[in-house]
Structure 1
Amino acid sequence: MDKVMSTADDAVAGIHEGASIAVGGFGLCGIPSLLIEALRVRGTGGLRVVSNNCGVDDWGLGLLLAEGRIARMTSSYVGENKEFARRYLAGELELELVPQGTLAERLRAGGCGVPAFYTPAGVGTPVAEGGMPWRYGPGDEVALASPPKLERAFGGRRYVLEEAIVTDFALVHAARGDRFGNLVFRSSARNFNPLAAMAGRVTVAEVEELVDALDPDEIHLSGVFVDRVVAGVSEKRVERRTTRGRTVA
């Protein structure tokens, strides 16, 4: 089945107001910039986004955040995005903070049809016991807090039950893709992208290079998880550039 869409705008068509979306990337590495921009231009809001972080103030998911399009984030890292922190602390944004490995596994489990799993991460903390602020109200009061989670002991060790994540849509970025939706990721861009793709009921992939077919041995993610593919190359930014002074002999 040919899954290629002619434009990024066509590729994000159908993403409705209030939709839940899993978005690949880590910081600014491997983010689906073309799809995010197409969604911004469409003006869709009330989005419930699952992503490791929310980009930076002027790039990536930060563009949607700045325009008030995101209602809820499920993330493991606030990062360098000051607007993300401001909106959360001001009660303008709901935020579920999840340990990074747990977030990755929740997405993978959703894609594999596993409803929940036990993990030791978070045992003995508010992650398991509840009470983490999801949304603040007036005067810094907690308007909505995380509920306690089920715990169980295995082999004398305590574990907390985490539910899988399945979203309405997923937006991901890949280095190469074919017309059937098979994807290849480059280096560290193979971060949350495969996991986000698995979790979406409808997954849209932007690829830098589109080919007719990929060698099965080089495929990182099967096209069975991908519904739409669009080709295009977007600007790539560095989140924080760090350099070392040159030593003069």
Structure 2
Amino acid sequence: MFLFLKSSLHPRLQLEAVWALTNIASGTSELTRAIQPSVELLSSTHTTVCEQAVWALGNTADDGPEFRDNVISSDAIPHLLTLVSSSIPVTFVSNIAWTLSNMCQNKNPHPSDHTVKQMLPALFHLLWHPDGEVLSDTCWALSYLTDGCNAHISQVVDTGVLPRLVELMSSSELNVLTPSLHTVGNTVTGTDHQTQLALDTAILAVRPQLLTHPGSSIQQEAA
């Protein structure tokens, strides 16, 4: 299978091989440990191969901090960030946002400060994407990053994302509203300065509609 992964002259073979890796990485940790991240395929000129490689990396990173760090150490993030700024289909962008979210999810330990600094500009960029799935995964990524100490909150807040997050708290899409609200909720648990920054974005203006939202989980999070 690893021979097929290197068959750049046969993209169909590469696609089938990386699809197999994607399935393996969606299994147990023991199975995931047996494979290596296929980062070189992120540079493939064949979009289907490249997108499937992103999916495989996302499955791998989702298996815990050990596997996440293996993906990061393979220099995957710069390749992913290059893809974000390119002209690719919406489904591909959504796959990248999901993979970046998986890299932020585990907090025992959190991803390194260097890794977070690498990802934050791309996450800020993706916060303005028109697709709901992209927005959802991006907001969840920021939620994971702010679920920790004040220093972690500062890394996110210092990018200037709060006004956009508060704007997304008025979204009619629950999968966008929930993580954006959760991220702002994490922020106001920080320092007095971080709380004030959230207040300065007119967060209280959206409070009434959240407290009367038909979803009890949204009401609880708002309260």
TM-score relative to the length of structure 1 = 0.28
The answer to which structure has the higher helix fraction is: 2
TM-score relative to the length of structure 2 = 0.30
